[in-house]
Amino acid sequence: MAIKFTKPGRLLNRVRGMFVAVLLCGLGSFAGMAHAGYAAIVVDATTGQVLNEVNADEQNYPASLAKMMTLYLTFQQLQSGKLKMDQELPVSAWAAAKAPTKLGLRSGQTISVNDCIFGMITKSANDAATVMAEDLGGSESGFAGMMNAQALRLGMTGTHFDNASGLPDPQNLTTARDMAKLAMALYHDFPQYVQFFATKEFMFRGQLVRGHNHLMDNYPGMDGLKTGFTDASGFNLASTAVRDGHRLFGVVLGGRTASARDRLMARLLDDGFDHRQTPAILVAQAAGAGPSMAHRVLAALSPIGSAEAEAVPEPQHHRHRGKVAGPVAHNGCTPHRGVTCPRAPPVHHPRRSSTRLAQRTGNKKPVVVASSSND
């Protein structure tokens, strides 16, 4: 019998191909649980009406949008008086060892609550988020339990947090609708702290720390909230903007690039303010030909990962300029449900850190809707 020999190089390529095929089949069920794909939603802050949504209830990876819940629980403790802005928190070896992006904290140091907040919002600092988690929850895993309990109180039924930072973890899951609920709850429940989300940069120990939310530089009326990125999640963004006294909240998950994500958010908000539907194909195109499904699933399983290393997006120019309203919140983001809107208390600016905030125009007209939070 003739025996056909295969060259070592060809054999290696065949083995690699077979391995990839088997891996994709084996991970199919995992990818089905969290699509690592794309989603978007826009919600009217006054009525809670969903103006536009694509895949809004499909689970994706939150990346650093998870820090919005870390900030929610931080503001909760500040509001109750259990935490002080100038309070110094210890930095553990666990916190100091977190993957980038980070402030570069070292074990044995301390950092103020004020600087932790600025670090999370601007630099999306994973070490700062972990410091806060360990102080409030005793450990990061204990704090994750607090995050999940609060998520349920806010009606975030498609969300599960496994760490305070949003660093890669297959158990960190959320939906665009849930992130919109959280964003609106932050503005409703803590109007005295929402100005933090407008921060573009701040001074930390003699160094200027710049933020990742470049869309605030280019979209008139935008004054927060938070960016997020990991290889598994793609480029995420939760935003809020005001035009002519009317506030909208938007969430984009799974952008192919930071600039594609930002362009999509700008289009979604423009269409929301102009009472137009954004074609679903534009949301899909923003996800584009980025990392393949296999790459994102593998990235989610990897124990090593970094977040928020974003490229500077292309400048966006918009002809609309609106008036900035005060803080608002939500009613669970249920379409076509009206609510009565109480007025919000005035916003008090923090005393510490040199910061630059997003530009605001016009007079403030606080508009607040009922929150689903029972705290």
CB atoms within 10 A of CB 22: 10
Q: Which fold has domain 34-336?
A: Beta-lactamase (3.40.710)
* Domain residue spans of the chain: 34-336
The active-site residue out of 67, 123, 200, 226 is 67
Token pair of 80, please? 């109750």
Q: Is 123 a catalytic residue?
A: no
Residue with tokens 């720390």: 209
Q: How confident is the model at residue 288 (pLDDT cuts 50, 70, 90)?
A: confident
> Between 357 and 76, whose confidence is greater?
76
In this prediction, residue 321 carries a pLDDT of 39
pLDDT tens digits along 326-362: 333 333 333 434 434 444 444 444 444 445 555 444 4
What value does the CA radius of gyration of the chain take, rounded to a whole number of Å?
21
Q: Would residue 67 show up in a list of annotated catalytic residues for this protein? A: yes
Q: What is the pLDDT of residues 146-180, one digit of tens each?
A: 999 999 999 999 999 999 999 999 999 999 999 99
**Which one of 64, 92, 353, 373 is the catalytic residue?**
64
Task: Assess whether 365 carries a catalytic annotation.
Answer: no
Which is the catalytic residue, given 92, 102, 124, 200?
A: 124
